[in-house]
Amino acid sequence: MVKKGGFMPIPNLRDPMSYKSFLPRPLALKFPFSLAKIKELKKLFIVDDESIMDEYIEGTLKVCDDMSPIRGEKCTCATSAEDLVDFVVKKLGKHVRLWSTESVEGSCENVTIGAVKLIYGNLFEPPILCHSQPFPFQVYYCHVLPKVKVYAVDIHASKKVNHVIMACHYDTSTWNPNHLAFKLLGFGPSLIEVCHWINENGIV
């Protein structure tokens, strides 16, 4: 679908909480970052039950507590910039390149696909994908999955051209058959590759 001249819908690329910042590690470590202590956490941030922030906190803690990785996957939740850097250096070393989607232009629109460029194609040395999680301060869910390629895609939306990053997973053989991607696409493990856009504040 993603080839020059194509026409396709783009999901919402926006981070629901794009304004948040990292806390310094010594401060981030003081918060009880666990689903078991969600009541204590909500009290510290003065969060009402059944509010949007309540949903965000619970969802992020579930993601970070339930670390049941796919075979070959390495993952972490980074609650500080120091955590993020340490994870990247441990997995990739000190010399890295960083890619992210330029803007949220084209979100929820039908767009025309422009240039598609493979920017990372080494299937034997996978990149790290870090997804921004909605939380009162910046948290990233970072993971390394085998056999991933990364593309830069120009999309022509109603206002301007956006430069969007797309990650493609070429080995889905060990993924859970109930993975959301299979439910959306109607296939199962090893039958298809799964590609997705990198949302606002997400980084590769």
Tens-digit pLDDT string for the chain (204 aa): 899 999 999 999 999 888 889 999 999 999 999 999 999 999 999 999 999 999 999 999 999 988 777 777 889 999 999 999 999 999 999 999 999 999 999 999 999 999 999 999 999 999 999 999 999 999 999 999 989 999 999 999 877 789 999 999 999 998 989 888 998 888 999 999 999 999 999 999
1 in a structural domain:
no
The secondary structure of 139-196 as a DSSP string is EEEEEE-SSEEEEEEEEE-SS-EEEEEEEEES--TTS-TT-HHHHHHT--TTTS-EEE
Backbone angles phi, psi at 62, to 5 degrees: -65, -45
Residue 100: its pLDDT value, please? 97
pTM of the entire predicted model: 0.89
202 in a structural domain:
no
Residue 79: its pLDDT value, please? 96
Neighbours of 73 (CB within 10 A): 15
- The number of residues in the chain equals 204
Residue 197: its pLDDT value, please? 95
Residue 95: its pLDDT value, please? 93
124 in a structural domain:
yes
Sorted by sequence, the CB contacts under 8 Å of residue 54 that are 6+ apart come out as 42, 47, 48
203 in a structural domain:
no
140 in a structural domain:
yes
Residue 72: its pLDDT value, please? 78
15 in a structural domain:
yes
> Considering its fold, how many domains does the chain have in total?
1
Residue 80: its pLDDT value, please? 96
Backbone angles phi, psi at 135, to 5 degrees: -165, 160
2 in a structural domain:
no
144 in a structural domain:
yes
Give the domain range for residue 101.
Answer: 7-197
Residue 12: its pLDDT value, please? 95
